[in-house]
Amino acid sequence: MWKRWKQTSSEDKARVIEAKINNPDLSTRDIEKQTWVNYRTSARVLQKDLSQVVSQSETIKKLIDDNNRILNITWNLMLDKLESWDKVSIRDLKDVRDFAIKQNTLVGITTDENKELNITFSM
């Protein structure tokens, strides 16, 4: 009969990944000393979860970069209107401001009851 091990907590995973990102030269033994997470568990987290975090980070980075480009275009259009003395409504200014605020809350990261990482994107 196989013994089922408890799942690695998201806090332990985060500590291991953070230690490796902060110092890529650390061995799993060094990570164990620094984080108090067993070196075998650390190795498993680095092998399984680190690549997932990196790919999700790249997706998030692309979304934020794209969103920044959209915001810059919108803001430049607003400035062009102001510089040419076109009428600019309060609603236009409010819409640009709201868009900028929404940009900063585009991505939400939570964990569920199984300690799985959930990333939600809001547009």
**66-117, pLDDT tens digit by residue?**
777 877 777 787 777 777 777 767 777 677 667 666 665 555 556 666 666 5
Pick 13 or 109 by higher pLDDT: 13
With both helix axes pointing from N to C terminus, report the angle between 28-35 and 39-48 in degrees, rounded to the nearest 10.
110
Question: Domain range holding 21?
Answer: 10-48
- Total number of domains in the chain: 2
Considering the domain architecture, whether residues 76 and 114 belong to the same structural domain is answered as: yes
Structural domain includes residue 72: yes
CA atoms within 13 A on the CB side of 50: 16
pLDDT at 123 over 60: no
Q: How confident is the model at residue 40 (pLDDT cuts 50, 70, 90)?
A: very high
Considering the domain architecture, whether residues 70 and 93 belong to the same structural domain is answered as: yes
